[in-house]
Structures are given as C-alpha cells and as structure tokens.
Amino acid sequence: MNIENLQQLTQFQIDEQPHIIVNKEICRTCDHRACVQSCPANCYTFDEETKLLSVVYETCLECGTCYIICDKGALDWSYPRGGYGVCFRLT
C-alpha cells in the first residue's frame, strides 16, 4: 500500500501556521528518530546528507504518535487552530 495514495484519500484544511515545530539541533543527534518510522502519515523525513529532520505538517492526521514517541523533547506539538488540519468525512 502506497502511503502517498493513502493521504490523498483524507481531507485537510491547510493552515499557513505549522502546528508541529521540530528542534532540528536535537533531532540531528537523536539516536532513534522513531518519529520518522512510526508516523502513520509519513510526515517526517531525515536527510542523511544534511542531517536535517523535516516535517510535513500539512498531511498530519493529528494522532499524536510522534508527540508521545519523541523522548528528546524535540517537538513543539499542539493541535492546529480551530477549523484547520485534518477533516475526516467518513471514518
């Protein structure tokens, strides 16, 4: 199953303000980067060359897996402003 296709199934109201901010310095030295592998929406990527972690908050399902799994205090994570973010239609 291709995650890129999966995300297209779900509706998002994209806010220009990100609701997740990563501390790239902390992430650079993280020994597990479990966020990258465990995010159900594949929002996180780590660039091995630049050693930078980036997050695509726009397709975040707001489940909170990364928020719980990050034990380095590297995530500034909150719910999006009212009306923004994921918008389930059926589910």
Partner 1 sequence: MAKYFDVIIVGAGPAGSLAALKLARAGLNVCMVERGKYPGSKNMFGGLLHNTPVLNEMLPDFWERAPLERHVYKKVLAFMTPESAVSLTFENENFEQPPYNGHTVFRPAFDSWLAAEAVREGALLLGDCTAEDLVRKDGRVAGVTVKGREGQLRGNIVIAADGVLSFMAEKAGLRRDFKVKNMGVGIKLLLGLPEDTINERFHLVRDEGADISFVGTTANMRGGGFLYTNRESISVGMVVHLDSLKASGKAPYDVLDELLQHPQVRKLIKGAVPLEYSAHLIPEGGIKAMPRVYTDGMMVAGDAAGLCYTNGINLEGINLAMTSGVLAAETAMKALEVGDYSARTLSLYKKKLDESFIIKDMKTFKNAVGMMHAERLFQTYPRVLAGILEKLYRVEGMPRSKLLRLARKEALKEVGLKGLVSDGIKIGRALL
Query: 3-state class of 64 per DSSP?
Result: coil
Contacts of partner 1 in 50-89 (CB under 8 A): 61-65, 67-69, 71, 78-89
Is 14 an interacting residue with respect to partner 1 (CB under 8 A)?
Answer: no
Name the residue nearer to partner 1 (CB basis): 48 or 71: 71
- Beta-carbon contacts of residue 34 (< 8 Å; ≥ 6 apart): 69, 70
Q: How many other C-beta atoms lie within 10 A of the C-beta of residue 22? A: 21
Which tokens go with 89?
């239609």
Is 16 an interacting residue with respect to partner 1 (CB under 8 A)?
Answer: no
Contact window for partner 1 (CB under 8 A) among 5-13, 20-28, 47-55: 5-13
- Please give the residue ranges that form the binding site for partner 1 (CB under 8 A): 1, 3, 5-7, 9-10, 13, 32, 34, 37-38, 40-42, 61-65, 67-69, 71, 78-91
